[in-house]
Amino acid sequence: MVLSVSERTFAQEVFQASTPVLVHFWAPWCGLCRAIDPTLATFDAQWAGKVKLLGVNADQSLKLANTYRLTSLPTLILFEGDRVRFRFEHYQGREELRRTLDSWMLATVNSPQTQRLQPQQAVNR
């Protein structure tokens, strides 16, 4: 099960995480959002300990939806600290999503460690 975060807990859970964080922006009415859940669960198990998976209900977190300029759901964003590393929109199928997530993680794991900022530093940038 994916841990859900809100506007109140987002900065702490994402910006202070010791690993990259994949945020799944979704909404209860979004069928595609539910359709990718099994792929995300497999991804989470495969990369356990190397990435943190979180969910954000875009309907209940309009400020975050606006901050990250969501234009479609589902939207997946991979963060390292306060930095957006990758973004996935316009879902085309499970296989494309699986390949995309794996390529993101390989690129992230093989890159130098990103400097971590405290939440207040990230917000004030």
Instruction: Judge contact between 15 and 82, C-beta under 8 A.
Output: yes
Q: 113 an active-site residue?
A: no
| β-bridge pairing 52-57 and 3-4 | parallel
Question: Which of 20, 33, 119, 25 lies closest to 64, judged by CA?
Answer: 25
Is the peptide bond between 74 and the residue preceding it cis, with omega within 30 degrees of 0? yes
Q: 33 an active-site residue?
A: yes
Catalytic residue among 5, 21, 22, 33: 33
Catalytic residue among 5, 14, 21, 30: 30
The Cα–Cα gap between 30 and 43 comes to 20
The Cα–Cα gap between 123 and 37 comes to 30
Active site amino acids: 30, 33
